[in-house]
Amino acid sequence: MLDIDETKDFVIDVKGLDKSFGNNKVLHDINFRVRAGEMVGLIGASGSGKSTLLRLIGGLDTMDQSSQYIKVLGKLTQTTNGLTPHQHQIRRKIGMIFQQFNLVGRLSLLTNVLIGRLAHNSTWRGWLNIFPKAEKIKALEALERVHMIDFAHQRASTLSGGQQQRGAIARAITQEAKIILADEPIASLDPASSERVMDLLAEINSRDKNTVVVSLHQFEVAAKRCSRIVALKNGRIVYDGSSAALNQEKLTELYGVASSREDNKEMLKMAA
Q: Is the CB of residue 59 less than 8 Å from the CB of residue 78?
A: yes
Pairing of strands 24-35, 10-21: antiparallel
Q: What's this model's pTM, rounded to 2 decimal places?
A: 0.87
Task: Per-residue pLDDT tens, the chain, 272 aa: give them.
Answer: 344 444 458 999 999 999 999 999 999 999 999 999 999 999 998 889 999 999 999 999 999 999 999 999 999 999 998 999 999 889 989 999 998 888 999 999 999 999 888 876 655 555 556 788 899 999 999 999 999 999 999 999 999 999 999 999 999 999 999 999 999 999 989 999 999 999 999 999 999 999 999 999 888 899 999 999 999 999 999 999 998 888 777 777 777 644 444 444 444 444 44
| Ramachandran area for residue 74 (φ above 0: left; ψ -120 to 50: alpha; else beta) | left
DSSP state of 131: -
Torsion of CA 133, 135, 141, 145, to 10 degrees: -160
Backbone angles phi, psi at 116, to 5 degrees: -60, -15
Spatial separation of the C-alpha atoms in residues 165 and 183, rounded to whole Å: 12
- Strand-pairing partners, residue 20, are 25
Interior angle at CA 226, CA 221 and CA 231, nearest 5: 80
